[in-house]
Amino acid sequence: MRLLMFLTLIISVRGQKGNFPDCKSGPLATFPICDQSLSSRQRAADLVSRMTIAEKITQMVTTAAAIPRLGLPKYEWWSEALHGIAFSPGVSFGGDLPFATSFAAPLNLGASFNMHLVYRMGTVISTEARAFNNEGRAGLTFFTPMLNIFRDPRWGRGQETPGEDPFLTSQYAYALVNGLQTGEDDRYLKIATNCKAYNAYDLEEWNGTDRFHFDARINDQDLVETYLPPFETCIRDARAASIMCSYNSINGVPACANQFLIETLARRSYHLDGFVVSDCGAIATIMYTHNYTRTVQDTVAVALHAGTDLNCGDFYRQHVQEALNNKTIIESDIDQALERIFHVLVRLGYFDPPEQQIYRQFNKDNVNTVEAQQLALETAQEGIVLLKNLNNALPLNFDQLQNKKIALIGPTANATVLMQSNYYGQAPYLIDPITGFKSVIGGRSIDVEFAYGCAISGTDESGFAAAIQLARQSDIVIFFGGLDQATAAEGHDRTSITLPDIQLNLLRQLEQVVHSPIHVVMMSGNSLDLSHIRDSDTYGSLIWMGYAGQAGGLAIAKIIFGQYNPAGRLPMTIYPASYVDLVSMFDMQMRPSPVNPGRTYKFYTGQAIYEFGTGLSYSTFVYSWTNHTMISSYSIQSLIKDNHDEKRIVTKDLRINVTNTGPMAGDNVVLAFVSPPQTPRNDQTPPIKQLFGFERVHLNVNETIQVFFPFSVSALLTVASNGLKWLHPGQYRILIGQQVIHIIELQGKSARWS
C-alpha cells in the first residue's frame, strides 16, 4: 500500500475534464465530506445533512441536479456497460473518445464457460469507463450486470444473460463484478456495478401482458433454488455496490415495493452495502399498472420504506414533497436513502483529489488498446458453439479450395451492429463475416461472394433468385441466418422458437442446387429449433454464433478455416418448436407438472434438440480417473453438526485427467454435474442433474491436464417446497459429461440445513 501511495503521488494530473466536486478550494472543502480520515458513511451523512429538503429531493432521481451553493455538480447515475461502454443517458461518444471496445454478448460469455475471460473483460470495461468519466463522458455508476435466469426460450432479453443455469450465472456475476469494481487501488471502487433486475424479471410482452403489469407467481422452492442464487452471489460474495428492483410484481407485491426482497434478503441476509435503484419508471408502475397503491404519496412511501433509494425516472422528484406534506414519509426516510447513495460515490473517490487516484489518470490512451482488441476477439471466439460437424466437414481446407468459390448467403453474412446484441456502444470497428472471411483467406486464390437472399423476417423473396444462382455456381455454400433485435429484444418476446419462415424457405431452395453439404451459422441471442438442419445430411455443419461483438466476423472465419478450434458450449437448452405450445410464459414453475414439461436442463422432461452444455471441437478429448467409480460415505448428522457453511468442502477426490487425442490443439470445457437421488419427497421432483463446477482448459495434441473440482455441501442440499434446505440420504452421482466418476453417499435421517 505504501508503494502504491508513493506512485500515486508522483502521477501528474492531466487536467481532468470530468465534472467533480472541488474538495480543495470549493464550498465543500472544509466539510467532513472532504475529510478522508472519516468513514465513507460519516462523510455521506454529513453531506446530506447540509442539504435543504428541496435539494435532497433533486438527488433522489438518476438525473441528479447540481447544488451550486454546496459545489455539488450535476450527476447522471444511469450509465450502461453490459459488455462494453454503451449508449445511455450517462454515456456520450465523441471528441477524444469516439468509441469503446465492444465485447461479445453475455450469452456468448456464458457459452465460453471461462470466468477468467469474463473477469479480464470486466477490467478492460472499467478502465475504459474511468477514461470516459474523466473526460465527462460517463458516470461512475453502471447498471450492469443482468442476472435473471434465461428460463424461457421466448424471452427477448435472454441475450443479456449468461444463460439458464443458476450456478453458471452466479459464477459469471462474481467474475464480472470483481473485474468491474476492483483494480490497482483497493482504497476505491473502480466503478460501481448494479445487479439487475431483482427479481424474477424474464418477460417483456406475451399474450397481452407486458413487463409493467406482470405478476410473477413463484413458490418458495423455485425462488430459493433458481431465481435468487445469482443475486445472492452478486451482493454477498462479489459485493456489488447496488441493485436494481424490477418492473414486475412477485406474488402480488411490486419488486420496488417488496420489503422482503430488498430489506430482509438483500440488505439483512446478503449484506448489501450500497443503494437500490428502481428500473426506469418502475416506481410509477407500483401505482399505475400494478394498482398496488392508490395515491402518489403512498407510492413514494411503500417504495422508500421497502428500501428503494433512487428513482430511475421522475416520480420521486414530482411527489416526495407531497408525501412529506401528508406525513406518509418523514425526512429521515429521505436521509437514509441519500446516505446510501452518496456512500457509494465516496467509495468511488468522487470527492477525493485526482492526483492521489490512479483511476483519475486514465484517458483516451487506455481505450481501444491492442490488448482490448485481442480480448474482444477472444470473447468472440470462445463463445461460439459448434453443434454439428458431419463427417468432419469443418474446418475448411485452404489447399482444397484453391481456385474455387465460396458463397456466403443470408441476412447476417454482412452483419455489423447486429453482432453487438443490445445495450451496446460505438465500436471502434465492426468486422462482419464477409470481411472476416476475406481477411483470413488473404491473398489465396479463393473467391468469396455474397448474396443477401432475404431479410431476417418478412415475406420478400425477391433476393432468392440471386442467392440460388450464386449457390449453383459455388463449391461451398455457407448460410448465415438467425434473429435480430426486431424479432427478440427488450420489450419484445417471441411466440415461436423456429427460424423465421423466410429463411427456412430459402434454405430449402438452396438444398436443391448445392454441390456439397451446406454449412449453417446462426447469429442469435436465443435458442432456435434447428432439428431440420441437425437431422439432414444436406447440411454439413451447424454453428451457433450468438452475438459475438466487434470482432465477430473475424472469429467465425477463423473457426471455419481451422485457425481457431471451437470449444464453446450451449448455456441454454434448445427446445423443440412444440415447447411453446406446452407451457405458458406466465408459468414460473421450474419443475414439471401436468401443464408444464419442466424448464431448463435441470427439470425438462422432453427431448431437447440440443442440450445445455452441448458443443463440439475439431479435436477429441478423453477423460480418465481411477479404474472404478469411487463411493464416499458421509453421515448427515456429522455434516450438520460440524458447521453450517454451505461452501465447506466435502471431498477433494474429484480429479479428472483430460487428454487431447485429436489432431489439433484446442480448449476443452469440462462440466461437472451432480445427480441427486431420483426419489420424490413430499411430491417434489428432484433435479435431473445440476451443475456444480466447470473448467475450461487448453491442451496441445497428446497433452494431458488434471482438472480438480472441489465438492461442497451446497451441491448436496435439496430445497424443499417451503424454501428450506435439507440433506437427504441416498447416493449422489457425480458426472463429468454423461459419465459417473464418483458417488457421494449420505447416510442417516433427513435433516434440515436451514
Shared domain check, 220 and 87: yes
pLDDT of residue 17: 64
What would the grid cell of residue 110 be? 456464458
Q: In whole angstroms, give the CA distance from residue 622 to residue 619.
A: 10
Q: Is residue 99 part of a domain?
A: yes
Phi, psi dihedrals of residue 411, rounded to the nearest 5°? -75, -10
CATH number for 271: 3.20.20.300
The cell 438452396 sits on which residue?
Answer: 510
β partners of residue 706: 657
CATH number for 628: 2.60.40.10
Shared domain check, 206 and 185: yes
The cell 434473429 sits on which residue?
Answer: 483
Domain end marker among 566, 598, 613: 566
Burial class (CB in 10 A: 0-12, 13-18, 19+), 750: middle
Within 10 angstroms of residue 96's Cβ, the number of other Cβ atoms is 13
pLDDT of residue 628: 66
Distance of CA 475 to the CA centre of its chain: 39
Q: Is residue 690 part of a domain?
A: yes
- DSSP secondary-structure letter at 499? P
What would the grid cell of residue 44 be? 455521506
Residue among 56, 45, 63, 53 at smallest CA distance from 311: 63
End-to-end, the C-alpha distance of the chain in Å comes to 40
Shared domain check, 630 and 686: yes
Cα–Cα distance list, 137 to 130, 313, 359, 429 (Å): 9, 20, 15, 20
Q: In whole angstroms, give the CA distance from residue 720 to residue 39.
A: 42
Yes or no: say if 248 and 282 are a contact pair by the CB < 8 Å rule. no
Q: In whole angstroms, give the CA distance from residue 618 to residue 419.
A: 24
The cell 464480472 sits on which residue?
Answer: 176
- CA angle, 373 then 376 then 382, to 5°: 140
- Dihedral sign for Cα 721, 727, 728, 730, please: positive
Shared domain check, 329 and 282: yes
Q: Which residues contact 288 (CB under 8 A, 6 or more apart)?
A: none
Q: Which residues contact 186 (CB under 8 A, 6 or more apart)?
A: 1
Shared domain check, 444 and 328: no
Yes or no: say if 671 and 113 are a contact pair by the CB < 8 Å rule. yes
Q: In whole angstroms, give the CA distance from residue 280 to residue 88.
A: 12
Residue among 605, 586, 578, 607 at smallest CA distance from 497: 578
Could you report the average pLDDT of every consecutive run of 10 residues in the chain (754 residues)? 35 53 93 97 98 98 97 97 98 97 98 98 98 98 98 97 98 98 96 97 96 97 97 98 98 98 97 98 97 98 98 97 97 98 98 95 98 98 98 97 97 98 98 98 96 97 98 98 96 96 98 97 96 98 98 98 98 98 96 94 97 98 83 90 80 90 97 93 87 98 95 93 94 91 93 86
Shared domain check, 396 and 358: no
Q: Is residue 587 part of a domain?
A: no
Shared domain check, 286 and 200: yes
Yes or no: say if 706 and 714 are a contact pair by the CB < 8 Å rule. no
What would the grid cell of residue 293 be? 397503491
| pLDDT tens digits for range 226-277 | 999 999 999 999 999 999 999 999 999 999 999 999 999 999 999 999 999 9
Domain that holds residue 703: 621-752
Residue among 551, 605, 604 at smallest CA distance from 381: 551
CATH number for 502: 3.40.50.1700
Phi, psi dihedrals of residue 372, rounded to the nearest 5°? -65, -40
What would the grid cell of residue 493 be? 418476446
pTM of the entire predicted model: 0.96
Q: Is residue 571 part of a domain?
A: no
- CA angle, 238 then 114 then 479, to 5°: 130
Shared domain check, 400 and 359: no
Q: Residue-wise over 315-339: b if at least 16 C-beta within 10 A, else e?
A: bbbebbeebbeeebbeeebbbbbbb
Does 197 sit behind a cis peptide bond, omega within 30 degrees of 0 on the bond before it?
Answer: yes
pLDDT of residue 7: 36
Q: In whole angstroms, give the CA distance from residue 552 to residue 440.
A: 13
Yes or no: say if 530 and 499 are a contact pair by the CB < 8 Å rule. yes
Shared domain check, 142 and 47: yes
Yes or no: say if 554 and 439 are a contact pair by the CB < 8 Å rule. yes
Yes or no: say if 699 and 705 are a contact pair by the CB < 8 Å rule. yes
User: What is the set of active-site residues?
Assistant: 279
Q: Is residue 612 part of a domain?
A: no
Q: Indicate the pairing of strand 215-216 with strand 249-250.
A: parallel
| pLDDT tens digits for range 449-480 | 999 999 999 999 999 999 999 999 999 999 99
Shared domain check, 338 and 449: no
β partners of residue 479: 409, 520
Shared domain check, 132 and 49: yes
Q: Is residue 574 part of a domain?
A: no
Q: Is residue 603 part of a domain?
A: no
Shared domain check, 511 and 473: yes
Residue among 568, 574, 582 at smallest CA distance from 618: 568
Q: Is residue 577 part of a domain?
A: no
Yes or no: say if 276 and 283 are a contact pair by the CB < 8 Å rule. no
Looking at the structure of the chain, the number of domains it has is 3
